[in-house]
Amino acid sequence: MTEVTEAVDNAEHNAQTSTEETEIPTLEFENGLPGFPDVQKFALIHTELAQEPFSIMRCLDADDLEFVVTPPALFFPEYEPVIDDSTVSRLGIESADDVLLLSILTIGDSAAEITANLMAPVVINTKNRKAAQTILNDQELPIDAPLFTESVTSSSQTQG
């Protein structure tokens, strides 16, 4: 991939030496994640490559399992998911202000290929750190919404 430049190599090097800041100590996914039913504990961290508004959701009870996440509202201002009652009750959510909503991103080779899972967001109760990835049924939301519009990415892409 020619887009991987020296700057990225440096950033990767830095990521291993810089201190990683934990935002929320431990997230508890009681029911695991679809595709990964046996993992329950995750931490949100920033790394050299995953800076605001992106975070790494790193699994604490499996080696080498990480997801890139971001608050979807920054990229999809129209996105207003309705979280079902059973998720609200299972996570013990008492106020919408306690909820941190994150979308899992799939990272492609370029910015234009980054997609967000809007169909199944990660819902976190920041009060008790219980979390779940919940499927928004019947809200017709995409599982792979491009994070950036073409106009944004075409101006930032470097073509060799």
Give the residue with the Cβ less far from another protein, 26 or 142. Answer: 142
Residue 30 in tokens: 């009681």
The only residue of 60, 94, 109, 128 in contact with another protein, by rule CB under 8 A: 109
In whole angstroms, give the CA distance from residue 93 to residue 151.
38
**Considering only residues 50-79, where is the footprint of another protein by CB under 8 A?**
50, 52-54, 64-68, 74-75
| Minimum distance, C-beta of residue 71 to another protein, in the bound complex (Å) | 10
Neighbour-count burial of 71, counting CB atoms closer than 10 A to its CB (0-12 exposed, 13-18 middle, 19+ buried): middle
| Minimum distance, C-beta of residue 43 to another protein, in the bound complex (Å) | 15
Omega prior to 53 cis, within 30 of 0: yes
> Which of 124, 63, 64 minimizes the C-alpha distance to 93?
124
Which range, of 19-27, 93-101, 123-131, 144-152, touches another protein by CB under 8 A? 144-152
> Which of 102, 114, 109, 101 minimizes the C-alpha distance to 144?
114
Interface contacts to another protein, rule CB under 8 A: 1, 3-4, 7-8, 11-12, 15, 31, 33-36, 47, 49-50, 52-54, 64-68, 74-75, 86, 89-90, 104-111, 113-114, 117, 119-120, 133, 135, 137, 143-144, 147-148, 152-153, 155-156, 158
